[in-house]
Structures are given as structure tokens and as C-alpha cells.
Amino acid sequence: MSEEVILTVSDLVTAFDTEAGLIHAVEGVSFDVKKGHTLGLVGESGCGKSVTALSIMRLLPQPVGKILGGQVLFQAEDIIKLPAERMHHIRGFGISMIFQEPMTALNPVHRIGDQIREVFQLHYPEMTDKDIGAQSIEMLKKVGIPEPVQRMEEYPHQISGGTRQRVMIAMALAGKPDILIADEPTTALDVTIQAQILDLMKALQQETGMAIIFITHALGVIAEICDDVLVMYAGTVAERASAVELFKNPRHPYTMGLLSSIPRLEGIRKTHLNTIRGMVPSLYDLPDGCRFQNRCPYVMPGCQIEPPALRVVGDEDHVASCYLYLN
């Protein structure tokens, strides 16, 4: 598999203007995305995973969402500085995104066929109507939708949640993007359909060589599909490593807590699952120093002074932000 880096996010800072003032939802987040690889962004709700993705797509809610700092390098261009027209081209052709609930992204009053045709018209204005129709059917077939000609005539409410998600994937891949960002795409689906969608994404990745940024709160899904993992906590990076290394050798106390809260089939059966005590701090009222301090079983006096920087803690790509690894 190629190790070519196609997206580099450096020191990203994203904030929202609220009635209570400016809150930083993402603070100094950095990572690389490699061609043909899947990077998992994992963490609890509100940890900044989706805001990171929306910042990359420049789709933050306006006028409240703002990128205050950092760089998002895609094909030698800093996405943050691109004019709107260039960004419009990158969305779809360069980077596409699918969401948790396709019903919110599909238009309920338009037929599936009209919606997928519209994507082709937008990306390939030179294509004839006949070619667009044929390509639309081909895309639906590619994502495993049976009887695609019939599906084209149906409305979103007439098809199942799993089929709607397949339609979204077909629309996202119509422009042959280099990167697909999938924001909790399987969370609303039952487990059998979840597994089918993950298999489909892996198969399409092998065929096209695209990179995937997979956002999830479920570590089980990370183990299933990801090559590399970024663990986020309260808007910051807690740990970053290859998936194999992270599961074998978690170093940040938050990652350790997440891993120990996964139910396991082997070993002694317990009546209660492990949980991480306490709550994520509010972005309106963040503590000085480490943001995980109120929940950390290893908290030390120095943890309350300065936020810990990311440090190498394992093989050279394995980093964590924790004072336990100061030396």
C-alpha cells in the first residue's frame, strides 16, 4: 500500500462565536492522511471529530464557525486560504463527505435518480443526459443496490436506511474523490447492515485507491476498518498511532479507558463494563493544563499547569499528549 501523504492538517484551530463568547471546539489538531489508507477519528460526542471534518470541507455553520489558525494542505494547496470557487471544485472531485443520517442529506421530495443525476451534471457538465443516466445506474450497481433502474424512480422514504446510505456513498463517489470523509456513516444502521456498509467501503477503497477519514465513537469499527487512528478529547489530540499499535500499546489514559470499556467475549464474564468516570469538561469552562485531568486515574500535581504537548511514546508515528511520558 502506498505511503504517499495526500492531506496534512497542521495545528488546526476552529472556534464558534456564541452568546457566551468564542469557544474553541478544535485546538491545535494535526495529522496526515495517506493515499489508500483509512484514518479513524475517534472520541466521545463533542470532542471535535465532526468539527475537524467540517473545517477540512470548509462547511462550518456560518457565520458562527471560524477557522482561527493552522493549515490544511491538500495537493499542495492550503484549503483554508482557497477562494470559494476553487473550494467548490475540491468538494466532490477532491474530497467528498457522507453523514450519519442520509435522510438529512437526501432531498425527500426528489427521486433518487434525479438526485444522483444532479451530482453528475454538477461534476461533468459536458456529459449528455443519456450518459448521465447510464453512469447513475452504474454507480448504484457499484454500491450494491439491487434493481437500480427501479430504485432511480423511488423517493428516499421508500428505501431502507442501509440503501439510503449506499445512495449517499454513490453520490459521494461520483466525482472520483481522492478522499472520502465518512462521519459516523453506520451509527444509525443495524449491525448486519453496518458490516455490509463497512465491507462496501473497503472494497471501493481497494478499487479506487481513495483515502478514507472515518469518524466514529466506536473503537470496534476502528479495529475493523482503520489503518491509523487519531484519538480526540475535548477538542485536542490525545493520541495518534497506527491502529495495530494503538490497540496493542495504548499510552494515553483516555485511550486506555476507552479500550477497557469495550465488551469482550474472552476472559471472565463481568456484570458491569468498565467506564471512564466523570464527564468531558464543557468547552465553555475548560481547566488549565490537561483537559482529561478530572477523569484521569494517573493525574499528578503538574497536570493542572500547562496543557501537555504531543510526545513520541512508541514507534516514531505513535504520539500521545500526557505528562506520564515526559522523559
298 part of the interface to ligand SF4, by CB under 6 A: yes
Q: Is 300 in the site for ligand SF4 (CB under 6 A)?
A: yes
Distance CA 214, CA 25 (A): 19
Of 33, 18, 24, nearest in space to 79 by CA: 33
Considering only 78-86, 88-96, 163-171, 316-324, which stretch makes contact with ligand SF4 by CB under 6 A?
316-324
The DSSP bridge partners found for residue 111 are none
Which stretch in 20-28, 222-230, 270-278, 296-304 sits in contact with ligand SF4 by CB under 6 A?
296-304
CA 207 to each of CA 36, 131, 145: distance values in angstroms, whole numbers, following the listed order: 10, 22, 17
Q: Assess 292 for contact with ligand SF4 (CB under 6 A).
A: yes
User: Residues 239, 258, 293, 319: which binds ligand SF4 (CB under 6 A)?
Assistant: 293
Q: Kindly state whether residue 47 participates in binding ligand SF4, applying the rule CB under 6 A.
A: no
In the complex, the smallest distance separating the C-beta of residue 233 from ligand SF4, rounded to whole angstroms, is 9
Closest CA to 89 of 69, 109, 75, 99: 75
Indicate which single residue of 39, 290, 310, 319 sits in contact with ligand SF4 (rule: CB under 6 A): 290
Answer yes or no whether residue 324 interacts with ligand SF4 by CB under 6 A: yes
Residue with Cβ nearer ligand SF4 (161 or 287): 287
Q: Which is nearer to ligand SF4, 214 or 292 (CB)?
A: 292
Which part of the chain contacts ligand SF4 (CB under 6 A), choosing from 29-37, 93-101, 258-266, 289-297? 289-297
163: exposed, middle or buried (Cβ count in 10 Å: 0-12, 13-18, 19+): buried
Residue placing its CB nearer to ligand SF4 in the complex, 68 or 305 = 305
| Segment interacting with ligand SF4 (CB under 6 A) among 32-40, 186-194, 258-266, 295-303 | 295-303
Q: From the CB of 304, what's the least distance to ligand SF4, in Å?
A: 8
CA angle, 230 then 231 then 235, to 5°: 105
Tally Cβ neighbours within 10 Å of residue 35.
16
Residue (of 97, 61, 59, 65) closest to 79 by Cα position = 59
CB of 53 to ligand SF4, least distance (A): 25
Q: Is 286 in the site for ligand SF4 (CB under 6 A)?
A: no
Q: Which is nearer to ligand SF4, 60 or 299 (CB)?
A: 299
Q: Which is nearer to ligand SF4, 43 or 253 (CB)?
A: 253
Of residues 230-269, which lie at the interface with ligand SF4 (CB under 6 A)? Answer: 253
Is residue 299 a contact residue for ligand SF4 (CB under 6 A)?
yes
If the CB atoms of residues 44 and 154 are measured against ligand SF4, the closer one turns out to be 44
Among residues 146, 122, 152, 155, the alpha carbon closest in space to that of 134 is found at 152
CB of 279 to ligand SF4, least distance (A): 15
Check residue 308 for interaction with ligand SF4 (CB under 6 A).
yes
Q: Find out whether 67 and 51 touch, Cβ atoms under 8 Å.
A: no
Q: Which three cell numbers stand for residue 84?
A: 470559494
Instruction: Tell me the C-alpha distance between 3 and 43, whole Å.
Output: 25
At its nearest, how many Å lie between ligand SF4 and the CB of residue 15?
23
Footprint of ligand SF4 (CB under 6 A): 253, 290, 292-293, 296, 298-300, 303, 308, 322-324
